[in-house]
Structure 1
Amino acid sequence: MLNDESQDLFDIRRLALLLEVVEQGSITAAADLMMYTPSAVSQQLRKLEQEVGQPLLTRRSRGVVPTEAGQVLAGHARKIVWQMQAARSDLGQIAGLKRGSLTVGTFPTLAGSFLPIVIRTFKKRYPAINLSLRSARFDELVADLQSGATGLCLLWDYPWNPFRDDSIRVTEVFRESTVILVARSHPLADREQVSMAELRNESWIVRAEAHPVVEVLQRSAHDTGFEPKIAFLANDYQEAQAMVSVGMGVAMVPKTAVALQHPDVKVLSLGAAAPLRRVLLAQREDKVYAPAEVAFHSTLLEIARERAGDYL
């Protein structure tokens, strides 16, 4: 019978030695394969017999044969050794990121500007990872993350409404400035910087469907003492730029929205008064992060550090 302590004392290496001896029928042959001396193998097997509390091998003139207990333990050892080999293989593949998949949630302005730079680097480094993206609105991004549809996602917030959710961990990727778009024929187009006070009489091109940038415009205008006059509701930023380019109005947009700039549009800074938004990488707080997620996280922050000044 096993003693009370022996159940916690089995050493996987000794089990592997027992298995090899049983399969080879010889301590010497097993020692050669395992790169031990025969005396070292014998010593380890004696310790295993002490742990088990009964003989495991019967010595004969031509090798050894397992006892009934030895046969039983060797059968279990075979399963354990195979499982450990499979574990090493799986861990080795993961450590080298030789396989895996990752789904990342994102939003349109980032997907059209900063994110492709990250993806290019990530795919070059980890070509075997199956990377997919889901572009959605803020609430959908959070819901996808919480449900596990995405492994991580990119979000944003502003100082007056910081993102807080105890179930989600966020890391700031970078901060980006809000800029003003005017037509190249606009009287202010020869300027590099403008103030909101100078824009109080302008008509505004804004995003439709209560887009977050509308609140940014309204707050900036109200702080300056005027109500913005809305001239056009655009479905996306390319449409907004097109309307600005023909003089329908001016627009306020996050800087990543003009990564692809219309040739007839001029981008003006608001200087220190420009509203800043944080771009955030979000992950669930309660999960163990997969290696592909860790690799993407690292690559994303590396690229963000390299391009920190591009969006201010």
Structure 2
Amino acid sequence: MEPDVRRMFLLADVAAHGSITATARALNYTPSAVSQQLAKLEDEAGQPLLERQSRGISLTIAGEAVVRHATRIRQQIRATRAELDEIAGLRAGRLFLGTFPTAGSSLLPPAVTRFRELHPEVRLTVRSGLLAGLRHMLENRTIELALLWDYEWNRLDDDGLQVRHLLDDQAALVVGRHHWAARRTSIDLSALAGEPWITRAENNPVAEVLARSCRAAGFEPQIVYEAHDYQEAQAMVGVGLGVAVAPRLALTNPRDDVAIVPIRGYAPIRRILLARLAERRPTPAENAITAVFEEVATTFARPTHG
């Protein structure tokens, strides 16, 4: 039979106060109640813990061992409480976050900066990946929160996730700085029906964005280059190989030789989302960085003209 921890603490109190009567008075118990609990503790220990003498009580060797361990347990409990208070107050702890490349180069940096300004003692670790990888990391708890995205034709519909919509990431036209469309404040894609187009390779969702946008404008795009990232696509646009469509977050740091032109009419919008497992209770750090992301997202929700 394992000793009851609360009775171990009671024995430590008796040792500290020097008698059962003094302990009962300090804890607002009756001496009889204290004696009964100590008797049960001795039954659990299987041996005497106290020696009753005419001048009071003393601990047996076994009693001294119990008091020693009770003192350590109390110290550990106090240390646990103190650490929990530190974490709850965002004065300690850690947070694991997931992101995808375009969010990692746009939305994430100001959010990290702001979070560290507010909570410098919380250690932040970030993992970058694609959509399927980020969802897997959430499910196996490698990360606690993830920046995700979806489009109207592949909404993120998962009852296992709690999703917060941060902002709408509008698509924009990317043309060379000296292209005739660079002088426009906005443009209908139908005006670009005869242009060569640069898209993303490997079934990237922006390829679907381009196809749907051009079809809505009445034509099929002539693809001349498939880029493996947005910087490569910008580079090809910059040298005049063609024009491209990209989400705004991918154009946060545009090259000097390209211009960004808002699209009039239909262009699919990418939703930027912050997700966590629905079954998990969010930590104080998760709640804090969620508020930071919502604050930062408002600055990206206002489109800029390039």
Q: What TM-score results when the alignment is normalised by the length of structure 1?
A: 0.80
**What amino acid sits opposite 1:117 in the alignment?**
P
Distance 2:222 2:35 in 1: 88
Provide the secondary structure at the position in 2 that maps to 1:281.
strand
How well do the aligned residues superpose, as a CA RMSD in angstroms?
3.5
Aligned to 1:94: 87
Q: Check whether the contact 2:182–2:259 (CA below 8 A) recurs between aligned residues.
A: yes
Provide the secondary structure at the position in 2 that maps to 1:139.
helix
Distance 2:208 2:36 in 1: 72
Q: Check whether the contact 1:49–1:55 (CA below 8 A) recurs between aligned residues.
A: no
**What amino acid sits opposite 2:189 in the alignment?**
M
Matched, 1:244 2:229: no
Q: Check whether the contact 1:25–1:64 (CA below 8 A) recurs between aligned residues.
A: yes
Long gaps (5+) in structure 2: 42-49
Provide the secondary structure at the position in 2 that maps to 1:309.
coil
Aligned to 1:84: 77
Aligned to 2:15: 22
Q: Check whether the contact 1:177–1:311 (CA below 8 A) recurs between aligned residues.
A: no
Pairwise CA distance, 1:67:
10
Taking a change above 3 Å as real, the CA distance of residues 45 and 306 of structure 1, as seen in their structure-2 partners, is: farther
Aligned to 2:45: none
Provide the secondary structure at the position in 2 that maps to 1:165.
coil
Pairwise CA distance, 1:46:
4.1
> 1:151 aligned to 144, 149, 154, which one?
144
CA offsets, 1:152-193, max 9 Å, x none?
Answer: 211100122211122222111111111001112111211110
Matched, 1:192 2:192: no
Identity of aligned pairs, percent?
A: 39
> 1:43 aligned to 21, 25, 28, which one?
28
**Residues 47-58 of structure 1 aligned to structure 2 (within 5 Å):** 48-49=33-34, 52=37
Aligned to 1:301: 294
More displaced 10-residue stretch of structure 1: 100-109 or 213-222: 100-109
**What amino acid sits opposite 1:288 in the alignment?**
R
Q: Check whether the contact 2:216–2:266 (CA below 8 A) recurs between aligned residues.
A: no
Distance 1:46 1:305 in 2: 65
> 2:199 aligned to 188, 202, 206, which one?
206
Pairwise CA distance, 1:49:
3.0
Matched, 1:225 2:210: no
Distance 1:247 1:155 in 2: 32
Q: What TM-score results when the alignment is normalised by the length of structure 2?
A: 0.81
Q: Check whether the contact 1:107–1:136 (CA below 8 A) recurs between aligned residues.
A: yes
